[in-house]
Amino acid sequence: MNRFNRHALTIAAGVAMLGLSGLARAETIKIALAGPTTGPVAQYGDMQMMGAKMAVEQINAKGGVGGKTLEAVVIDDACEPKQAVAVANQIVNQKIKFVIGHLCSGSTQPASKIYEDEGILMITPAATNPAITQQGYKMVFRTIGTDDQQGPTAGRYIAAKIKPKKLAIIHDKQQYGEGIAKEVDKTVKAAGLKPVLFEGISKGQTDFSALITKMKKDGVDFVYYGGYHPELGLLLRQSREQGFDAGYMGPEGVGNKDISAIAGPASEGLLVTLPADFSSDPANADLVKAFKAKNEDPTGPFVMPAYAGVQIIADAIKGAKTEDAVKVADHIRKNSFQTPIGKVAFKDNGDLKEFEFVVFTWHADATKTPAK
Amino acid sequence: MSGFSFLEFVQQIINGLTLGSIYALIAIGYTMVYGIIGMINFAHGEIYMIGAYVGLMAITGLSLFGVDSIAAILLVTLAISILVTGSYGWTVERLAYRPLRNSPRLVPLISAIGVSIFLQNYVQIGQGARDVSMQPVLTGGWRFGPADGFQVYLSYMQVLIAVVTVAFMAGLTLFISRSRLGRACRACSQDRTMANLLGIDTDRVIALTFVLGAALAAVAGVLVGMYYGLVNPFIGFIAGLKAFTAAVLGGIGSIPGAMLGGVVLGLAESFASAYLQTEYKDVVAFALLILVLLMRPTGLLGRPDVEKV
C-alpha cells in the first residue's frame, strides 16, 4: 500500500511537471474581445472583432509582446446589460487581464465596474456615452469619441447648415440613443433652435406610423434620431411611404450597410456623424491592404479604434515592462501612442484627448461620402 | 402642437386599424386555445415569428423564380406559411402539451415557456440571430386631401392587411358557427368531459385548435413581413405580449373578443402616440387593460366564468 502510494506520487509529480512545461511553452497574453456577435447589432461586433483580431495577428507576426504571443478570446454580450455582467465575470474567472470592449454603452457601463474592481484593463472601441468615463475609474479607457463630442457636432451642423424650420428629435430610450439625443437637443437650443418634438420610441418597435403622421401634421422638416439602425431603417422607410419627406440624421450607431438593406432607397441622403474615415488615411494604406486581402471591410467606424485598442495594450505592456494591468493602465495614461487612428493620448478619466467626428451623407447603395 | 386636424385623426385611425389587425390575428390563437383547454400558450408568439420567417423565405423564393404578380405571391406565400406554421403548431401541441393534458394547470404553462425559449433559439441557430430584411413587395397607395396641406395616405399594403384579416376572420367565424368540426370546437369549449362522453374526439379538436391558431399567426407573420420587411428571432416576444394583452382585453376565450381587443389596442397605441408622447403608448395601452379588467374582469366580450361543479 505504502509503496503504491509512493509510485503514485512520483507519477503525479511527473505529470504535473509535464503539464507545467507545456504551459510554459504555450504562454500567451490573453485579450478578451467582449461585444455582440449575436443580436440585432452584431454587425458592429463584427467590426470590433475584425479590427482587434487583425491587430493581434500583426503584432504576433512581428514577434508578439516581450516574447509572448497575444491570444484573442471572443465573448458575446449581445449588447445586453445583463449578459455583459455575466461576460465580465467570465473574464474575471478566466484570469484575463485585458479587455477590448464592450461595444454598446448600456452593456459597457455595468461591465466596467467589475473590471475596475478586479484590476482588469478595459478599452472600449465603440461605447460613446459620456457617463462611462465619469465614474472616476482608473482601468477604463476608450479609443473613440464621446456623445458630448458627437452630439454637438451633429447639433452644430443642423443649426448652421440645415437650418430646419421645425426640428424633431427622436431617440430609442437607451443609454446611448437618449444620451446623444439630449446632447443634440442642448446644442441646437444653444444655437437658438427649439425642437418642436422630443420623444422616445421603444427598442424593437416596428410600427412608427402614428409618430410619422404626427410629425407630418406638425410640418417637421428635419429629424434627428438617437439610436441604432434597425429602428431608424423602419422609421425612414415608413416615413417615405407615408409621404413624409423630412431629412434625417443619426449618430454612428446607424451607419452600417444594414440601414440601406432595411430602408432601401429611403436611406439615400441620410446624414450620419461618424469617426473620420481612418481607412482613407494614406498612413493606413498597408493596413487597409491587409484587410482587403482577407476580404474584410476596414471602413466600419469601429474597426480602426479596435485595432488601436489592442495596439495600445501591446505597446503599453512593452513600455511598462510588465503584464500587471494596473501598471499598464498607468503607462497608458502617461504616454502617447502612434496608432491607425492617429497619435493618441489619454485624459486622466480615460477619454482620448482629441477625437474628431465628421458628418457623412449616406447613400442607398450603403456607401458614404463626406457631407458638404 | 398645432391644434386638432381631422385628416390627421383619419390617418391615425388607419394606422391604428392596421396595427390592430395584426394584433387581432395573433390574439385569436391565444384565445382559442384558452377557450378550449384553459391554458395560455406562451409559445404562440414564437409560432408567429416562424410564420414570418417562412413567409419571407417563400416571397424571396418566388421572386427568384420570377413570379411578380402580387396576387400569386400573396396566395402561394400564405399557403406555404400556413402549411409549415400549422404543422409547427400541431407538433408543439403533440409533443409539449398533450402528454401533460391531465397534470396540474401550472405544468403545461411551464412547458409552454420552455417551448417558447426552444423555438426562439432554434430559429436563432438555424437562421442566424440577425435582422433579416426584405424590400417591400407591394408599394404605393392612395392620397386624399389638399395638395399643399396634410394628405391622408392609405397604402395598398394597409388595405391588403385589412382585407386579408377580415377574410380570414369571417372564414374562422363561419367555420366555428357552421361546420361540424366548429360545432365540436364549441362543444369542447363548453364542457370537454361531456363532449368526450358524447363521442367527440377531443384530442383531435384540441390539435385542430392549435393548427388553426398557428395558421392565423402565420397569416399575421406573412403580412408583417410584407409590410415592415424586417424579421428577427425575437419579434415573437413583443408581438406575443401585445396579442395576449389584446386577447385578455377582449375577454380571453372569446373569438370576437380577441378581434375587438386587437383593434382597440392598436387604436389606443396610435392615439397615445399621436396626442400624447410616443413614450406613453405602452403605458396607455396597459392602463387601458387594467381599467377594463377593473370594470369588467372578464374583458370586453368575455362571459363570466361559471365554476363547474
CA distance B67 to chain A (A): 21
CA distance A34 to chain B (A): 17
Asked whether residue A168 falls in the same domain as residue A218, the answer is yes
Span A135-191, pLDDT tens digits? 889 999 999 988 888 888 899 999 998 899 999 999 999 888 999 999 999 999 999
B67: burial class by Cβ within 10 Å (0-12, 13-18, 19+)? middle
Q: Do the chains contact at B273 and A211, CB–CB below 8 Å?
A: yes
Which of B176, B145, B174, B165 shows the shortest CA–CA distance to B36? B176
What pLDDT is stored for residue B1 in this prediction? 44
Q: Do the chains contact at B130 and A173, CB–CB below 8 Å?
A: no
Q: Do the chains contact at B228 and A206, CB–CB below 8 Å?
A: yes
Q: Find which of A172, A241, A259, A365 to mutate to test the B interface (most B CBs within 10 Å of its CB).
A: A241
User: Residue A116 carries which side chain, given as an amino acid letter?
Assistant: E
Give domain status of residue A329, yes or no: yes
The answer on pLDDT for A317 being more than 90 is yes
What pLDDT is stored for residue A41 in this prediction? 83
Q: Find which of A213, A216, A221, A236 to mutate to test the B interface (most B CBs within 10 Å of its CB).
A: A213
User: Which of B232, B271, B282 is closest, CB to CB, to A40?
Assistant: B232
Asked whether residue A55 falls in the same domain as residue A96, the answer is yes
Q: Do the chains contact at A209 and B18, CB–CB below 8 Å?
A: yes
Provide the number of structural domains found in chain A. 2
Asked whether residue A100 falls in the same domain as residue A137, the answer is yes
| Per-residue pLDDT band at B308 (split at 50, 70, 90) | very low
Give the Cα separation of A120 and A326 in Å (integer). 7
Asked whether residue A170 falls in the same domain as residue A287, the answer is no
Question: CA nearest B268 in A: which residue?
Answer: A210
Taking phi over 0 as left and psi of -120 to 50 as alpha, with beta for the rest, B231 belongs to beta
Question: CA nearest B151 in A: which residue?
Answer: A243
Average pLDDT in the B217-225 region? 91
Asked whether residue A221 falls in the same domain as residue A345, the answer is no
Between residues B133 and A102, the one the model is more confident about: A102
For this complex, say whether ipTM is above 0.95: no
Size of interface A-B (CB pairs under 8 A): 98
What pLDDT is stored for residue A5 in this prediction? 59
Give contacts of B238 with chain A, Cβ < 8 Å.
204
Give domain status of residue A5, yes or no: no
Q: What angle (nearest 5°) sits at the alpha carbon of residue B215, between those of residues B213 and B218?
A: 110
Give domain status of residue A2, yes or no: no
Give contacts of B5 with chain A, Cβ < 8 Å.
217
Contact present, A104 and A83 (Cβ < 8 Å):
no
Q: Find which of B7, B15, B152 to mutate to test the A interface (most A CBs within 10 Å of its CB).
A: B15
Question: CA nearest B225 in A: which residue?
Answer: A206
Give the Cα separation of A365 and A196 in Å (integer). 32
Tell me, yes or no, if A230 comes closer than 8 A to chain B by beta carbon.
yes
Q: Do the chains contact at A217 and B5, CB–CB below 8 Å?
A: yes
Contact present, A179 and A105 (Cβ < 8 Å):
yes
**Cβ under 8 Å to B: A residues 63-102:** 78
| Per-residue pLDDT band at A14 (split at 50, 70, 90) | low
What pLDDT is stored for residue A24 in this prediction? 44
Span A215-255, pLDDT tens digits? 988 889 999 999 998 899 999 999 998 888 899 999 988 88
Give domain status of residue A134, yes or no: yes
CA distance A208 to chain B (A): 9
Give domain status of residue A319, yes or no: yes
The answer on pLDDT for B73 being more than 90 is no
Give domain status of residue A191, yes or no: yes
Between residues B146 and B11, the one the model is more confident about: B11
The answer on pLDDT for B304 being more than 70 is no
Asked whether residue A96 falls in the same domain as residue A183, the answer is no
Which of A35, A43, A62 shows the shortest CA–CA distance to A290? A62
Phi, psi of B144 (to 5 degrees): -125, 150
Asked whether residue A89 falls in the same domain as residue A177, the answer is no
Tell me, yes or no, if A258 comes closer than 8 A to chain B by beta carbon.
yes
Contacts (Cβ under 8 Å, ≥6 apart) of B130: A38, A39, A40, A42, A43, B232
Asked whether residue A264 falls in the same domain as residue A293, the answer is no
| Per-residue pLDDT band at A25 (split at 50, 70, 90) | very low
Asked whether residue A87 falls in the same domain as residue A167, the answer is no
Asked whether residue A351 falls in the same domain as residue A309, the answer is yes
Asked whether residue A295 falls in the same domain as residue A349, the answer is yes
Question: CA nearest B157 in A: which residue?
Answer: A241
What pLDDT is stored for residue A9 in this prediction? 54
Question: CA nearest A168 in B: which residue?
Answer: B1
Span A268-278, pLDDT tens digits? 999 999 888 88
Give the Cα separation of B115 and B99 in Å (integer). 14
Q: Do the chains contact at A213 and B143, CB–CB below 8 Å?
A: no
What pLDDT is stored for residue A11 in this prediction? 56
Span A323-342, pLDDT tens digits? 899 999 999 999 989 999 88
Range of the domain at A213: 148-276+358-370
Give domain status of residue A87, yes or no: yes
User: Which of A170, A210, A243 is closest, CB to CB, to B269?
Assistant: A210
Beta bridge partners of residue A122, listed in sequence order? A99, A140
Q: Do the chains contact at A218 and B19, CB–CB below 8 Å?
A: no
Average pLDDT in the A254-266 region? 87
Alpha-helical runs (H) found in A158-208: 175-190
Give domain status of residue A1, yes or no: no
Contact present, B27 and B263 (Cβ < 8 Å):
no
Q: What angle (nearest 5°) sits at the alpha carbon of residue B99, between those of residues B93 and B105?
A: 85
Buried b (16+ CB within 10 A) or exposed e, B267-293: bbbbbbbbbebbebbbebbbebbeebe
- CATH number for A335: 3.40.50.2300
CA distance B118 to chain A (A): 16
Asked whether residue A119 falls in the same domain as residue A242, the answer is no
Tell me, yes or no, if A259 comes closer than 8 A to chain B by beta carbon.
no
